[in-house]
Structure 1
């Protein structure tokens, strides 16, 4: 009996996008099909071409680029042959896009209800006012939002991040399009909100028979939602397979490298970053672009670009572009015991200790009777949903929160909560690393100028001394000396985060507070940053790591504190808390955390 296939919604053939100035390809020879209700995961590091490809599927190219070859058929109509006016009619009606940052995608000057009404007025002008209200009410209900007048009168800034993201989903599905492209829509969300959003996307795609492309660098999230996965590298498809085959038996060394770099909540294992960087379009070598980073590289890899061919061992369609795919066997990572010492909470000596901390924003209390401690050389993870108080607590410890009471001790001495009341030495001892390194670094200053100001300000160093300190700290974070001559815009996200760490290390701190510093990074870059932090920890540095990624917690933390609504609800050894959680809230976080390797129902709610 012939298997019944759903209709093809999207057919891409030999799609190529190149730079106008040089003619260098950004993406090359991309071909695939997508069917009704199917979700395709599109993964790869920064620079792999994910954004360029997803934009081209909508008929867009960034400034300085152009589509030079290929076709994009949406329901058998090549959208690349349409004029601007015809494309505008299709976008929104037959094709939708969900952006990564809803704060910038939603119009801040328009109420939520008005933004939904406006979309219907433009694309479905024949609808009556009553019909528009019915459609809006239906889609809001389907994305889990209320439909009352008070809610529709809110502006985007009056909604939480999860609510904003669900409004974007409502806008995307409102016109019942044929294709939706989702660009990392859950990157900044906590695990429970992320699960909610993923479930909504999966359900609506099936109900509305929408074909979807989910763009992400996080394979653990892709595993939760996709039916198939395409792995991009240097603008080409490296691997294309159904979900089960890709995760059980990845055939391309690059895919295997991505899987080995991912921290996972189920097992504590060594993270293995992929050494090197993906080549930019102007620097892509002859032959296989991954050859210089690949353990299987041989002479043929240097000379010939591997074609994308079907793997002979797989009954399902599994395509690989690798000369040595038959040799590249994937070994499932095993659990290991971290060689960093696990600390005994019963010890009396603490580097930093906070007792009965309460904190407010205006008249609203955020933290309630919080007590915890940090011992020298340990990593304490602080986890919880958005709004739980993680950032308020970390900012209180560094001295950036004014409305605080309680007791804070540095070893045996009282440490003021206000930074202005601390001595220069005390301010050196605790350094804060922000989530977004690009916003935290002055774009008008070179890296050398940024680091030099710190060295001269804190230590009154001469220029010669400052230069030597900068070279030493750049070496400590594995950056070459020439980085000091570059601007933040010249660096990758991982390199910028290393600069932010280097700036903090210049102050010779005892404690680093890391606030979601890996949430926006590629998995390989994330692995390299986490490995760096582990090395610094072995040298005696103490870490407070704020995150919503429980896989990262399993990989690097000695102990973990779980915050809920400003209260610490669980606190203890990492492996004990993550493997045998006592509090129902912790169990809920664990149940919602995506994982590649955990057993079915490993984190069921009690």
Structure 2
């Protein structure tokens, strides 16, 4: 018997009946991993959460079946679901910052999970289970670490705690919703290996939701590509990613950056349709191979190879091979004065020094990437630049003038010129305000003398530039996917026409096509003189966007060089 069986799953908008997910089918045996990929809003997270018997507010599961280890999730009562969730099927969320209770210590939260599902365990029996789970995800299990609160951990450490808690009870299935977006490359590699090994050793089936096709290629046995609520391509990982047949899958692959060479990233034009489009092929308006029939006939799933299917009416004209364009050389070293200069900057919080004696400069139009493992001080340094760290020594100069410690002490022009985009779109957007209000209020604060009409035009232009349709302006943040929320955060910042943009892992929540569009937008803004400080774990993306790279370790810059030089011939062992 299969470990996971999903049959004809259907999820709709409760108020209108418009379909969010329709007709999704797949089967997983014990130890197998399915990579669920697609753009934000494609329905992949909806499928994943439906496997827990859950639909987000405003949505409703109306059809199909989900059986995990023989248990029918969709017909279970609330009390039965409480036992199924955690013990039979576990969930690792995209944003650990909102999944962990900020008022409870890490150890307390882990113990509570064991007490609820395993009340038979004595205190002495719980300890080795916790130690093993923490070691599996490369975290310490000593008392000093377990007594920390979530805010005292880096984003990567928070995510590893969530993964440890998911495997703690040895479930039959695990749903991982973008679990490595906040992790540095070394930690990501370890966590992926841990997930793979645990699934094989313990017979756990996994559904891995991701926009990172490189991660999926390493981890998954099978891949399902989703678009507008449908599975448009499904098959073994090597077949789908190595010989993609659907134009949408090919578009996603063309948008992936490569650490070995700087590519021109190709974003898929247009935006995905909202729920409820049922006439013809949902991808037709964005497809370069679409014909008239695509607007009226919905394609059926067609076998294109052994265990490999795709939904397309034009498979006979879709090419079987992809071509990529190599990008030009990075920006020449600037002879202009530095726009932003850091002299012997040390900073931290709670009396603890996190960043030590950093000297850096950013030139007009330059992109400087900050890379390093979680906890290396990248975000702390980035926040010090914008004034969000209250303890700082050394000088930060903007156009040769020293910046005050806090934003309130700085001039309105400086606050407008230096904008910050946070890593977590869930925590940075006011949940009670509409998207229009969120972007409008920020722009109005920075352009107080402009008329309502001018501010409205800036809002609409900013939303359009990040690839969002105008309809999102009337929505609340919880009505958007994670990737859509991050695009709103980017729109809020670029709508102020900054000269320096601090980007803290801003593409970690974006699918590859939107990432490509955002990168191309940032490159366009750079041609107008915008400078970027780009904090990231994604070295392939660094190759595409950055002119220079600063590598951080334990709060210090240990290597600084041009992108090509550093990635091709790193001098430090840590960088290598």
The equivalent of 2:302 in structure 1 is 309
Is the Cα contact below 8 Å between 2:95 and 2:424 reproduced in 1?
no
Residues 426, 233 of structure 1: CA spacing in aligned structure 2 closer, same or farther, 3 A cutoff? closer
Q: Find the aligned partners of 2:486 and 2:126 in 1 and give their Cα distance.
A: 46
Work out whether 1:363 is the aligned partner of 2:351: yes
Residue 319 in 1 paired to residue 312 in 2?
Answer: no
Equivalent residues in 2 for 1:150-229 (5 A)? 150-229=144-223
Aligned to 1:296, the other structure's residue is in SS state coil
Structure 2 CA distance for partners of 1:26 and 1:442, relative to 1, 3 Å: closer
1:387 Cα deviation after fit: 2.1
Q: Do 1:479 and 1:495's aligned partners in 2 also have CA atoms closer than 8 Å?
A: no
Provide the C-alpha distance between the structure 2 equivalents of 1:157 and 1:334, rounded to a whole number of angstroms.
42
1:405 equivalenced with 2:393 (yes/no): yes
Alpha-carbon separation, structure 1, partners of 2:72 and 2:470? 47
Give the drift of 1:556.
1.1
Q: Is the 8 A contact 1:17 1:69 kept in 2?
A: yes
Residues 1:41 and 2:35 are matched in the alignment: yes
Could you report, residue by residue, the CA deviation over 1:217-269 in whole angstroms, capped at 9, with x for unpaired residues? Answer: 22122122111111111111111111111221111111111111222222211
Which residue of structure 2 lines up, in the alignment, with residue 297 of structure 1?
290
Q: Distance in 2 between matches of 1:403 and 1:324?
A: 60
Counterpart of 1:431 in structure 2 is 419
SS in 1 for 2:3: strand
Contact 2:271 / 2:469 at 8 angstroms: preserved in 1? no
Q: May I ask how many residue pairs the two structures share in their alignment?
A: 575
For structure 2, the 5+ residue unaligned runs are none
Describe the SS at the equivalent of 2:238. helix
Equivalent residue number for residue 26 of structure 1: 20
* Residue in structure 1 matched with residue 522 of structure 2 by the alignment: 533
3-state SS of paired residue (2:90): strand
> Which of the numbers 548, 551, 563 marks the counterpart of 1:559?
548
CA change 1:286–1:111 in 2 (3 A) is same
Larger radius of gyration: 1
Structure 1 523/93 Cα, relative in aligned 2: closer, same or farther at 3 Å? Answer: same
- Deviation digits for residues 509-540 of structure 1, max 9, x if unmatched? 43222222222122211211111111111122
Q: How far apart in 1 are the matches of 2:445 and 2:158?
A: 41
1: CA distance, partners of 2:9 / 2:435: 38
Tell me which residue corresponds to 2:274.
280
- Equivalent-residue separation in structure 2 for 1:467 and 1:149 (angstroms): 52
Q: TM-score, normalised by structure 2?
A: 0.89
Q: Deviations over 1:27-79 (max 9, x none)?
A: 11111110111111111112211122112222223344433332223344444
SS across alignment from 1:551: helix
CA distance in 1, matches of 2:469, 2:55: 35
Please state how far the C-alpha of 1:216 moved relative to its aligned partner.
1.3
CA distance in 2, matches of 1:90, 1:414: 57
Q: Deviations over 1:393-447 (max 9, x none)?
A: 2233334444333344445555555555554444444333333456545566666
| Matches of 1:428 and 1:40, distance apart in 2 | 45
Q: Find out whether 1:353 has 2:341 as its counterpart.
A: yes
TM-score where L is the length of structure 1: 0.84
- 2:564 equivalent in structure 1: 575
* Map of 2:376 onto structure 1: 388
User: For 2:500 and 2:389, how far apart are their aligned partners in 1?
Assistant: 18
Partner SS for 1:295: coil
Q: CA deviation at 1:162?
A: 3.7
Which ranges in structure 1 are unaligned for 5 or more consecutive residues? 1-6, 588-606
C-alpha distance after superposition, 1:132-158 (max 9, x if no partner): 444444444434444445555555445
What secondary structure is seen at the aligned counterpart in 2 of 1:196? helix
The question of 1:470 aligning with 2:463 is answered: no
Cα distance between partner residues in 2 of 1:120 and 1:324: 53
- Which residue is 1:543 aligned to? 532
The CA distance in 1 between the partners of 2:142 and 2:203, in whole Å, is: 28
CA distance in 1 between counterparts of 2:70 and 2:294 reads 37
